Chain A
Amino acid sequence: MTDLATYNFAYLDEQTKRMIRRAILKAIAIPGYQVPFASREMPMPYGWGTGGVQVTAAVLGPDDTLKVIDQGADDTTNAVSIRAFFQKVANVRVTTKTAEATIIQTRHRIPEAQLQAGQILVYQVPIPEPLRFLEPRETETRKMHALEEYGLMHVKLYEDIARHGHIATTYAYPVKVEGRYVMDPSPTPKFDNPKMHMSPALQLFGAGREKRIYAVPPHTEVVSLDFEDHPFEIQTFSQPCALCGAKGSYLDEVILDDKGGSMFVCSDTDFCEDRQAKGHRGALAADTAEAAE
């Protein structure tokens, strides 16, 4: 960094940060409730995590270490560009290691490694309103939250069962926070929902286009909606990660050729690399594959 004229620390002006900070404090005080905020234009398009970026910018300090993930990976476009953005405008330390980060901005995954007290997880949220596809009018969804009228959501899950025999919602699976607000966990796979429950980390959610901030404080009850005879279940995979051999992690399918070949690998790249560094090997890891040939 030079001492030449530059952006304000963390890009946003101070009045914007104060406005976002006030919204964050209210969001923490009312877990799961979506606080409206005056979302700003950011130097990236909507859909690229402008909400998460604004929340991170309002929270971030020079002592923080930032990690940014996109679908679990540190090395995909969205993660790389947001990480570079904060290196440029805040000169902040960055890392890919979950355990070293104080703030983790995420698009659509929660890291596999257990988060610790003091860590802050910032979610990028496209549609914060869990009832939006059931009721398009904001005035009505707001009333439904006020009256705790969530029957429609249960009808939606029931219709899944009637049509498919099971609850077919696999991502953005609705949760109830502290027995009060139904909340959209952002389009994380339902695999990650149990990690939100009683997490020691603070979870902040920013939706830039929709202009909402919400939060789940540490040690807060987050329960996935379900039925007694159709209890909530997470995804399971028939095979372990092809690179690190992990069995309990969330896997991505990677197409290998045009003949239908594919492999399943951990979506959390840091988790997978950490396991490989510790000597764990899957069926298609480079050295295992060589040995087999």
Chain B
Amino acid sequence: MHSDTQIFEGGFSDSVLNAQSVFRALMDAMANPGRIVAVDDLAVPPAPLTPLAASIAATLFDHDATVWCDRAISGSAACTGWLKFHTGLELTGEPADADFALISDVATMPSLESFCRGTSEYPDRSTTLILQIDGFDGADTLVLEGPGIKGSVGFSPSQLPKMFIDQWIANRAAFPRGVDLIFAGKGALAALPRTTRIKKTEA
């Protein structure tokens, strides 16, 4: 059970400037794939939502955003209550209908191709996935190339979806259609837009 306090409290203390600072971190991350961008904890949501994922939600979601949440989040009345109260988002049970996806457990998430890739005419009408992870000191390092990256850059998220390399190659092959990923760690975020190529993995 949850108390109403959990739902109504914990939003941005300064809705205008907090959203602006989180957006700039997101834009910086999206424009520089693999870059780890530090963000202060600005929101206090109920678990399993993390402060950073909740900040991203409060920055990007509103009544025009259709959002799919994984079972741990959608099953928590406190989480869905918090998201609805603070953003006014529209929830969907169908990943392919979602503008955004909020994923707390990366290991059990649906495949990338079950989300919306947009159409050839409107590749922007696709899902942006927000993945909650522990951090960016994982054992495996992906070497990334593509727009926004000078040469190549190493990227070591602590968790990745299953068979991620194969899934990402398929996502990249559908360009300009495809999904974009935002990794929300603890106090820092990073992004993989659909343009990024994974050159190789280093253990």
Binding site for B on A (CB under 8 A): 8-9, 14-15, 17-19, 21-31, 33, 35-36, 58-62, 142-143, 145-147, 178, 180-181, 200, 202, 215-221
Contact status B27-A59, CB under 8 Å? yes
**Which residues on A sit within 8 Å (CB–CB) of B147?**
31, 178, 216-217, 219-221
Contact A217 B31, CB 8 Å, known A29-B180, A29-B193, A35-B124: yes
Contact status B148-A218, CB under 8 Å? yes
**Which residues on A sit within 8 Å (CB–CB) of B30?**
25, 28-29, 217
Provide the bound-state CA to CA distance between A23 and B147, in Å: 18
**Which residues on A sit within 8 Å (CB–CB) of B120?**
146-147
**Which residues on A sit within 8 Å (CB–CB) of B59?**
18, 21
Contact status B195-A178, CB under 8 Å? yes
Provide the bound-state CA to CA distance between A217 and B128, in Å: 18
Number of A-B contacts defined by CB within 8 Å: 110
CB-CB contacts below 8 Å: B120-168 with A: 120-124, 126, 128, 147-150
Q: List 14 A-B contacts (CB under 8 A).
A: A9-B17, A17-B20, A21-B27, A21-B59, A22-B99, A30-B124, A31-B147, A58-B23, A59-B27, A61-B20, A143-B121, A146-B121, A215-B31, A219-B149
Residue ID in chain B nearest A217 by CB atoms: B148
Contact A219 B27, CB 8 Å, known A14-B16, A143-B121: no
Residue ID in chain B nearest A21 by CB atoms: B23
Category for how many chain B residues contact A: 35 or more
Contact status B27-A9, CB under 8 Å? no
Q: B65: CB under 8 A from chain A?
A: yes
Q: B105: CB under 8 A from chain A?
A: no
Interface string of B83-124 (1 = CB under 8 A from A): 000000000000000010000000000000000000111111
Contact status A29-B150, CB under 8 Å? no
Q: Given known contacts A28-B30, A30-B124, A30-B194, what 16 new A-B pairs fall within 8 Å (CB)?
A: A14-B19, A18-B61, A21-B26, A25-B27, A27-B124, A28-B148, A29-B30, A36-B124, A146-B120, A147-B120, A180-B176, A217-B32, A219-B148, A219-B150, A220-B147, A220-B148
